[in-house]
Homo-oligomer: A and B are copies of this chain.
């Protein structure tokens, strides 16, 4: 097993192989992918589809002198295997040696930590410009999947590259898929180019000023090697459009491409997942709510930027609600502006997006939506220490990002019932742009009663009246707040518990009233404290004798952490908070 792959310690070793051996290497890589993915999970389809292209790139070019920049970089498992990191795929004991993305700390063959889409062309253009400034002669190669092409940064990058006058190779890996199906007019052009064997009436890439080459079978090593040899050392930017099969080599993945974009551990024989996700979660709660709403009210619509299932819209449901469900493709900026336009003209738009990706839309939220006070509803998912834990996918920066934008109302529900109440208010009201921070600590139900109308802004709720200490516990840290109050009770401190609900403004009346009978205020928030919610409260009390302690995450790039261990380290556990508070009294 892995007979050829075992011989490869660096790309140099690859160059000695015959074509037959290269093909055996492709099989070894797929075997190693299957080994890791079936046991550990990870990005499946993107890696199976890129095996031959990666081999061909390393065969023709001289990495790391020649430099590859992979978009999203979730398709770089084959690249990692060929650049000294094969054990992380062959042997379970080494699985944790590597991240799921390119990582300069792992290898000189990786140039950037990349996890967001649509960045490779512009980043690689920078490598090329610096090469030209400093007199280098290496090849610079950006690899971008067709799904990423719709992102603004990628399209800007192609346009910029169209004016360059030196070596720059852009590999467009076209598998006719984003995570879900592709969306956008340009995919029609890619289809025409595929069907015309690289010829069509018009061509997006030459329209951007780029040269263009086509490879009909991007899983055919000979074709790929010839094509890379042709563009190598070219002195003008060129797009190499290669057609690959997502999931190539594993029938279930070739057939069900969306499901196999990313996989949990599974049985290779049957393709069945080892753990069933199942059960209630905020995606299903959101989808159930929205679909019922859409059926009743044709003005309600949902918008996604290529991650429809986070709102519970699986393929069948997208089809059922196709008049009211819009997938803009990877195009977060347009998603936000579109929502603003819809709201302005009488629609009720709901944009569901991961916290990590709403980062792309600060200017659109501020300019396109909030200056215009258009009643868009944003649902911000995985905004939490319990969200994605790769450094490129952290969802912990959204509070400083969004909560300091004027006009926006950012709400933090503490449980499922409050979440639905807040979302429903957001959708039906016409006064404000509203974002709702979807809890990420599992689905917690509550039999507390929740108001339906949140238009009287910035009213915090005292859920347990006490004295001496007030615990203001935001969103899905509310339960930690509850437990902190219990821990304090065991020290005979009967603290007040507050659900602030609003991230974007302070209940100054309530805060003022706390000054009588309370000496310490504790704030808890599931995100970085810098620029966040608690600091506003600390500033509010700045000229008083109230003591304030803010709990939350540090302003850091955490990577592949254990959430509970991190919370413990930061002292964000009820007993530790209670202990710290009692010392402040």
On A, residues with C-beta under 8 Å from B are 67, 69, 104, 111-116, 119, 122-134, 136, 150-153, 155-163, 183-186, 188-189, 201-204, 206-210, 298-299, 301, 323-324, 326, 328-329, 331, 333-334, 337-347, 349, 357, 359-360, 362-364, 366-368, 370-372, 391-392, 397, 400-401, 403-407, 528-532, 534-536, 538-539, 541-545, 547-550, 555-557, 584
- Evaluate contact between B347 and A129: CB separation under 8 angstroms: yes
- Evaluate contact between B539 and A550: CB separation under 8 angstroms: yes
- Evaluate contact between B163 and A185: CB separation under 8 angstroms: yes
Give A368 to B69 CA distance when docked, in angstroms: 12
- Evaluate contact between A344 and B542: CB separation under 8 angstroms: no
- Evaluate contact between B160 and A129: CB separation under 8 angstroms: no
Give A133 to B370 CA distance when docked, in angstroms: 23
Which 6 A-B pairs have CB atoms at the shortest separation, nearest pair first? A162-B185, A126-B341, A152-B152, A185-B209, A122-B337, A130-B345
- Evaluate contact between B543 and A548: CB separation under 8 angstroms: yes
Q: Which residues from B are CB-within-8-Å of A132?
A: 323
CB proximity of A350 to chain B, nearest CB, Å? 13
Give A125 to B545 CA distance when docked, in angstroms: 53
- Evaluate contact between A531 and B400: CB separation under 8 angstroms: yes
Give A156 to B329 CA distance when docked, in angstroms: 9
User: Could you pull out 26 A-B pairs where Cβ atoms are within 8 angstroms?
Assistant: A112-B368, A113-B371, A115-B367, A123-B341, A126-B338, A129-B338, A129-B342, A133-B346, A134-B346, A136-B345, A152-B333, A156-B333, A157-B337, A160-B184, A160-B329, A163-B184, A189-B208, A204-B208, A360-B362, A362-B362, A367-B392, A371-B557, A400-B531, A404-B531, A406-B556, A534-B539
- Evaluate contact between A126 and B342: CB separation under 8 angstroms: yes
- Evaluate contact between A337 and B119: CB separation under 8 angstroms: yes
- Evaluate contact between B162 and A151: CB separation under 8 angstroms: no
B119, B159, B531, B550: the one contacting A367 at CB < 8 Å is B119
Question: Which among A111, A189, A400, A542 has the highest number of chain B CB atoms within 10 Å?
Answer: A542
Give A331 to B154 CA distance when docked, in angstroms: 10
- Evaluate contact between A340 and B126: CB separation under 8 angstroms: yes
- Evaluate contact between A345 and B404: CB separation under 8 angstroms: no
- Evaluate contact between A328 and B545: CB separation under 8 angstroms: no
A326: nearest residue on chain B (CB-CB)?
Answer: B129
Give A128 to B345 CA distance when docked, in angstroms: 8
- Evaluate contact between B372 and A104: CB separation under 8 angstroms: yes
Q: Which residues from B are CB-within-8-Å of A112?
A: 340, 344, 368, 372
The answer to whether residues A125 and B338 also contact, given A134-B347, A298-B134, A555-B406 and a CB cut-off of 8 A, is: yes
B125, B152, B204, B549: the one contacting A153 at CB < 8 Å is B152
B397, B404, B542: the one contacting A541 at CB < 8 Å is B542
A159: nearest residue on chain B (CB-CB)?
Answer: B184
Q: Which residues from B are CB-within-8-Å of A209?
A: 184-186, 188-189
Give A181 to B122 CA distance when docked, in angstroms: 21
B119, B329, B338, B548: the one contacting A542 at CB < 8 Å is B548
Give A550 to B543 CA distance when docked, in angstroms: 9
- Evaluate contact between A407 and B207: CB separation under 8 angstroms: no
B130, B184, B326: the one contacting A162 at CB < 8 Å is B184
- Evaluate contact between B538 and A123: CB separation under 8 angstroms: no
Q: Which residues from B are CB-within-8-Å of A530?
A: 403-404, 536
Give A191 to B316 CA distance when docked, in angstroms: 45
- Evaluate contact between A152 and B156: CB separation under 8 angstroms: yes
